[in-house]
Structure 1
Amino acid sequence: METVATALKTNSRTLRRRIESEGTSFVDDVRCSLATGYLMKTTLSADEVAMLLGFADTVNFRRGLKGWTGKGPAEIRDQG
């Protein structure tokens, strides 16, 4: 968070507030970006991606992904 805030010439608290005002969080943004990247550019299964990103199980991962992107793992993988 500090690195990103510094690059944007702001402080981490301001960055966190701006991100949260958009209805998301820094961690969610990073997880979404990593999830879509893993699904589009690797052959990792949805179970493996869920584990890598620290989800309790694949169901929660799929729910999170659907909330962030409106799509499931297979739909995202097809975009890659």
Structure 2
Amino acid sequence: MGTMVTRYRVENAKGCVLTDEGFFTSERDDAAEFTDEDAAHEEASSFPGATVEEFRRYSDFADLIVRGARLDHREAIDEFNRRAG
């Protein structure tokens, strides 16, 4: 069972999004997702003219995304199993 979650991403003046690797791309699916707005603003401050954009999306694992980076598939499964008991 999933839920809608609020996430934040960093965008530059051209509308490109910041990736986990630290570069900007036009591919929104590659954007680094932040669960914490303050962390997103801190990251955006490193890039003059960058802004923080809020968005909502569906997530099966609402609380399994760590601040500033996405968990890889294996980490997500391990974390899910750990929480399940």
With the length of structure 2 as denominator, give the TM-score of the two structures: 0.25
Q: Which has the higher helix share?
A: 1
Which protein has greater RCO, CA pairs closer than 8 Å, 6+ apart?
A: 2
Q: Which has the higher strand share?
A: 2
